[in-house]
Amino acid sequence: MCYSEGHPVRLIGGRLALDFVNTADWTADGHIAHEKLRSLADLTLWLEAVNLDSKPLDSLANLIRYRASLRQVLLSGGDPSSLNAVQALCFEDASSDPITRRQPLQALLAASAVSLLADSREHERIKMCPGENCGWLFIDETKNGRRTWCSMESCGNRAKAARHYARKKNRAPARV
- Note the pTM of the prediction, 2 decimals: 0.81
Per-residue pLDDT tens over the stretch 8-29: 899 999 999 999 999 999 998 8
Per-residue model confidence (pLDDT) at position 152: 78
- Give the Cα separation of 95 and 102 in Å (integer): 10
29 belongs to a structural domain: yes
Count of domains observed in the chain: 1
89 belongs to a structural domain: yes
Per-residue pLDDT at 147 exceeds 60: yes
CB 13 within 8 Å of CB 151: no
Q: How far is CA 16 from CA 35, 78, 158, 165, 174, in A?
A: 18, 17, 26, 36, 52
73 belongs to a structural domain: yes
56 belongs to a structural domain: yes
- Give the Cα separation of 28 and 94 in Å (integer): 30
11 belongs to a structural domain: no
Per-residue pLDDT at 82 exceeds 90: no
1 belongs to a structural domain: no
CATH number at residue 158: 1.10.3300.10
Provide the angle, in degrees to the nearest 10, between the axes of the packed helices 60-76 and 80-89. 180
The pLDDT-based confidence of 50 (bands split at 50, 70, 90) is: very high
CB 1 within 8 Å of CB 50: no
Per-residue model confidence (pLDDT) at position 56: 66
Q: Which residue range forms the structural domain that includes residue 107?
A: 16-170
125 belongs to a structural domain: yes
81 belongs to a structural domain: yes
Per-residue pLDDT at 101 exceeds 80: no
Per-residue model confidence (pLDDT) at position 97: 43
